[in-house]
Structure 1
Amino acid sequence: MRLSSAIALVGLAATSLFAGVNAETVDSDVLVLNQKNFASTVPAEKLILVEFYAPWCGHCKALAPEYEIAATQLKEHSIPIAKVDCTVETDLCQEHGIQGYPTLKVFKEGVPTDYNGPRKADGIVSYLKKQTLPALSELTADTVSAFSVSDKVVIVGVLPKDSEKRAVLEKVANQLRDDYVFGVVEESEDVKSGIVLYKKFDEGKNVLEGDFDAESLTAFIRTNAVPVMDEIGPTNYANYMEAGVPLAYLFFSTPAERAQFPEIEAVAKELKGKMNFVYIDAKKFGAHAANLNLKESWPAFGVQNVVSGAKFPLEQDGELTVEKMKTFAENVLAGKVEPSVKTEAIPETNDGPVKIVVGQQYKEIVEDQTKDVLIEFYAPWCGHCKNLAPIYDELGALYKGSDIVIAKIDATANDLPSDLPFQVQGFPTIKLRKAGSSEYTDYEGQRTKEAFIEFLDAHAVNKFKVNLTEDKPVTAEDIEHDEL
């Protein structure tokens, strides 16, 4: 299970910073938009990035300086970026469906899409520059050299005009255009025919020669577009998650700790393509060790399956060595290491109105095929979860003894099975696992007793009516009688 994690200036002055832009701004290259100028500014731009923010938001404050730098750098490319204060422009933000801060949207000629790119200046700049290019740029022998260094990672296909592989390259380019720059040329000094991945790190380039399809080309790009061993952080985390291979973390708390394992990079190079290796600064991101079931004691080493979420912490007793890390990583790849499951103890009694679920009993309770199970994934510190608790207890009492189980699990203290078809990304998350099925249905209604009952009446396989006026269950016999 992975849980998601991450950043104002006020003033008015009328100016035009970009062609087609007429917006209010401060002494800044970030445009300030409001209800008056939004409609005249945004649709007029071929491409514009808009941040919807709140001045009190911590993530917005962290983003602000990066956003300013990006705005200045993008100015020379005639790509404006802007912001809207949602504590002032409430109607405008509601119109655009803003539910959290910061929310960033890319508008192309007025049509919005969610921005899911990096939150650092260089990442923002790179992402938006890609949006101005075609998914696959046509190159010549004279332009390929400059194009190959135009971004951190650039993919160039060396393919004849009549090659069927051009269609494969174009398909992959369209799928990955937000992440990488793609071009195609008929001839190149680097390879007679194939794909060249240029990068500003490690060996500088990788070559894929011979036959390829969309799947193998994507794998080639994802594998080689990350360094042999880099330091992981918010700007590159998504790249490793999308790479599709297990990720090995080496936690360090001081430069000296990091430097004491120089041979680990040779291990990372040996296993490249099968497993990615990263350094992680424990002073900044030490809490992530708990996500891998590691103690916050450094240095430390653990592996995560980025597809299933399964975690493999290396035992922290004794001295950490490169040999231990190498053997452990190889054993994880060979399937010789069982995933670690964080779990609370099984409750001594569990006969309350809401069934308590812990990690080691998840499948036994939640995936009991004879029952419909409404399961709440909560966090003890979550205010919304606390507000829901008495309502949820009342709901559990109404269905007690039926084949519809009302249950909850502390998702901060218990791991979920790695084969679940979803990830919990906020609290509370509420889902119905239907009887006789592995299917989960999201609950997105109001958090009232009546709304929950209406939802269960509509979606549960096992039918069980409750009488809200008397707060007493109606039996199956009553249901049959009502239907006659």
Structure 2
Amino acid sequence: MVKRWSGLLLLLFVLACVAVEIQRCHSLEEEVEEDIMHPVEDGLEEEDELEDLDEGLEDVTGDPGSYSSSADVIAASKVANVNDQDVERVIAKYEFVLLLGYAPWCTQSQELLPEFAAASVQLSDLGNPTVLAKLDAVNNPSAAARYEIRGYPTLILFVNGSRDDYSGGHSREEIVLWVLKKTGSAITTILSKESAESFLSRNVTAVIGYFDNLDSPEHDAFAAAAKLDLDTEFVSTTNIEVTLLLSQGAPISSPPFIALCKQEPERLSVFGGSFNAEEIDSFVKLNKYPLVTVLNSKNANLVYASPLKLHLLLFAESKDDYVKPLYLEAARHFKGKVMFLAIDLKDEEFSKPMLAVYGLDTAKPVVAGLDNEDGSRYLLESDLTVESLKDFAADFYARKLPLYYKSDPVPAQNDGLVKIVVGKTVEKIVMDDTKDVFLFVHAPWCATCEKVGRNFEKLAKHVQDVSSLVMAKYDANSNEHPILMEVPNYPSLLLYPAGRKSSSPLLAKSQGSWKKLLAFLKENVAIPFPVKDGNDVADSEGRKETHIDEPAVTQQQQPELKDEL
């Protein structure tokens, strides 16, 4: 039961991230500034113009980081501007083509374009043969449809015309690294101290391999592993001084030696497994992230793809400085076991949907747990200290924590004709064994819930003097409880008879009027009560009871309900 609901939560989790991207890409209707979007070329309409690509489109060189603005980077780039007419010819002509499909009004596209342009310069300077091309997918719908560009931005690598969807990040460094690994050597070989110092100046996470020679089986396994991880740099050397420099003074052993070097206090993680590609790749994937990773819409897919499926989530603002050292200290004890993530509450487009998964709306730091394998959730409800964080993470890793279910706040006053039930009060109200409880389960997006709710209110007025019967309603969108995880559809009217709360509830099939609902109660309550016409509810034989776990009411039977309404 929990697993089925957890799957839905994972879907909500992914949809929340997707919604953030869609919102960002569709919030702007105006055209971007002309200087930023000025095309490198007006399209390659003639065959001879394709030859310009061999010469780089724009014969410029230099460090793209030295340009003063995004417009300067784009103007100095080697990006081909393609359209409906020539994109297919470009892809057919060149061995490697990285195509960017963008929309002029898309925020994410605007952010990516200068990074894409800078990557083109870096790849050219490195002698990489990949042609980078951009396509305005909005104004070139034929090409967009042909290459299935449905969202913006979309990156696709074509190798001899064969498609390979891009899976890397959106910074220039990430684009360059991904392309290099796909189109050339996946390893950078460094043999001099000068090259090592230049590499260190980039402050990147890297896998260092120290070998006796570069023709060994161990180096072959290292090279194969480098092809498996497309967003981490692999560096090999046979020079002990280079190795010491790259490891920044951390202890190293004799070759073959592999370590993961990160730009943070926990600098070096040393590989201790067998020298095969799979074990090296597993080691890298488990150790390449920082002790605490800032999670946002840009890196969410990469984080969720990690083999570390137990995620601890800290929701906090940058001003909450007191909690960050505590969180970092706790993270040191769970390397390779639990991924510690931080979400900035100021990033509301991302943080609010994430908080909604837990039914939370807070401006204060809060820590939660998510098992990204089955979607189960947990919440730290004690004060944030190093010890409480460590205890929570340890129990999380050992699967000892109680599952967390979201709940609206308990109403301060709840004396209406229809009681409000929230996640935290299901046991107290619904499972009260001394009462018959008739529960209206609804959701705010449910089209028929409003009318059924009015019928339910009319019934509540009719039976308001019946002390043995509780009329109650439950918002399934903002509340959760294990006994209400399998409600078949909304609205659902469930009767929990007194003295039989351990059995499945009874489901009212006829919801078209309050009188039909009253008839249902007459047949099924455990405690008979007098009605206004003076008759007692009979304890009739052969009652028509429909259990919630029976296939009597399904989504396919909704038209019957609509007919009665």
> TM-score if structure 1 supplies the norm length?
0.63
User: SS at 2:227's partner residue?
Assistant: helix
Q: Using the TM superposition, name which of 98-107 and 159-168 deviates more.
A: 159-168
Provide, for residues 164-196 of structure 1, a one-character-per-residue CA deviation record: whole Å limited to 9, x for no partner.
5455434433321x1223355567454312312
Contact 1:232 1:280 in 2 (8 A): yes
User: How far 1:277 sits from its partner (Å)?
Assistant: 1.9
User: 2:106 and 2:275 mapped to 1: Cα distance?
Assistant: 47
User: SS at 1:296's partner residue?
Assistant: coil
User: SS at 1:251's partner residue?
Assistant: strand
User: SS at 1:348's partner residue?
Assistant: strand
Of 305, 328, 338, 1:275 maps to 338
User: 2:336 and 2:141 mapped to 1: Cα distance?
Assistant: 48
Provide, for residues 124-178 of structure 1, a one-character-per-residue CA deviation record: whole Å limited to 9, x for no partner.
23333433432356676889847964772322334566865455434433321x1
Aligned residue in 2 for 1:91? 142
Amino acid corresponding to residue 81 of structure 1 in structure 2: L
Amino acid corresponding to residue 406 of structure 1 in structure 2: Q
The correspondence of residues 228-267 of structure 1 with structure 2, limited to 5 A, is: 228-245=291-308, 246-255=310-319, 257-267=320-330
Contact 2:181 2:227 in 1 (8 A): no
User: 1:70 and 1:194 mapped to 2: Cα distance?
Assistant: 31
Amino acid corresponding to residue 311 of structure 1 in structure 2: R
Amino acid corresponding to residue 155 of structure 1 in structure 2: V
Contact 2:84 2:141 in 1 (8 A): no
List alignment gaps of at least 5 residues for structure 2: 1-9, 26-31, 44-48, 59-70, 244-251, 408-421, 427-438, 450-474, 490-549, 560-565
User: How far 1:74 sits from its partner (Å)?
Assistant: 4.3
Aligned residue in 2 for 1:33? 82
Amino acid corresponding to residue 125 of structure 2 in structure 1: E
Aligned residue in 2 for 1:155? 207
User: SS at 1:106's partner residue?
Assistant: strand
Aligned residue in 2 for 1:337? 401
Amino acid corresponding to residue 263 of structure 1 in structure 2: L
Aligned residue in 2 for 1:310? 376
The correspondence of residues 64-463 of structure 1 with structure 2, limited to 5 A, is: 64-77=113-126, 79-136=130-187, 145=196, 149=200, 152-159=204-211, 164-166=217-219, 168-176=221-229, 178-185=230-237, 188=240, 190-192=252-254, 193-209=256-272, 211=274, 214-245=277-308, 246-255=310-319, 257-284=320-347, 285-287=350-352, 288-315=354-381, 319-342=383-406, 348=440, 360=482, 361-362=484-485, 405-406=554-555
Provide, for residues 449-469 of structure 1, a one-character-per-residue CA deviation record: whole Å limited to 9, x for no partner.
9xxxxxxxxxxxxxxxxxxxx
User: SS at 1:173's partner residue?
Assistant: helix
User: SS at 1:263's partner residue?
Assistant: helix
User: SS at 1:172's partner residue?
Assistant: helix
Name the Cα RMSD after superposition: 4.3
**Kindly, what percent of the aligned residue pairs are identical?**
22
Aligned residue in 1 for 2:530? none
User: 1:57 and 1:145 mapped to 2: Cα distance?
Assistant: 39
User: SS at 1:19's partner residue?
Assistant: helix
The correspondence of residues 461-476 of structure 1 with structure 2, limited to 5 A, is: none
Provide, for residues 185-241 of structure 1, a one-character-per-residue CA deviation record: whole Å limited to 9, x for no partner.
567454312312233333433222353555543332123211122433344434432
Which protein shows a greater Rg? Answer: 2
User: SS at 2:112's partner residue?
Assistant: helix
User: 1:174 and 1:146 mapped to 2: Cα distance?
Assistant: 24
Match status 1:53 vs 2:102: yes
> 1:41/1:240 Cα in 2 relative to 1: closer, same or farther (>3 Å)?
same
> 1:173/1:62 Cα in 2 relative to 1: closer, same or farther (>3 Å)?
closer
User: 2:272 and 2:386 mapped to 1: Cα distance?
Assistant: 34
Q: Using the TM superposition, name which of 157-166 and 354-363 deviates more.
A: 354-363
Amino acid corresponding to residue 53 of structure 1 in structure 2: Y
> 1:332/1:203 Cα in 2 relative to 1: closer, same or farther (>3 Å)?
closer
> 1:215/1:306 Cα in 2 relative to 1: closer, same or farther (>3 Å)?
farther
User: 1:250 and 1:405 mapped to 2: Cα distance?
Assistant: 39
* Aligned residue pairs, count: 370
User: How far 1:260 sits from its partner (Å)?
Assistant: 4.7
Contact 1:130 1:181 in 2 (8 A): no
Provide, for residues 351-406 of structure 1, a one-character-per-residue CA deviation record: whole Å limited to 9, x for no partner.
x999999864555759xxxxxxxxxxxxxxxxxxxxxxxxxxxxxxxxxx978943
User: 1:277 and 1:349 mapped to 2: Cα distance?
Assistant: 36
Contact 2:488 2:553 in 1 (8 A): no
User: 2:120 and 2:476 mapped to 1: Cα distance?
Assistant: 48
Contact 1:304 1:312 in 2 (8 A): yes
Q: Tell me which protein shows more helix as a share of its residues.
A: 2
Amino acid corresponding to residue 308 of structure 1 in structure 2: D
User: 2:173 and 2:192 mapped to 1: Cα distance?
Assistant: 28
User: How far 1:281 sits from its partner (Å)?
Assistant: 1.4
User: How far 1:58 sits from its partner (Å)?
Assistant: 4.1
User: How far 1:322 sits from its partner (Å)?
Assistant: 3.3
Contact 1:194 1:208 in 2 (8 A): yes
> 1:28/1:362 Cα in 2 relative to 1: closer, same or farther (>3 Å)?
farther
User: How far 1:324 sits from its partner (Å)?
Assistant: 2.5
User: 1:138 and 1:231 mapped to 2: Cα distance?
Assistant: 31
User: SS at 2:555's partner residue?
Assistant: strand
> 1:39/1:281 Cα in 2 relative to 1: closer, same or farther (>3 Å)?
same
> 1:212/1:267 Cα in 2 relative to 1: closer, same or farther (>3 Å)?
farther
Contact 2:208 2:259 in 1 (8 A): yes
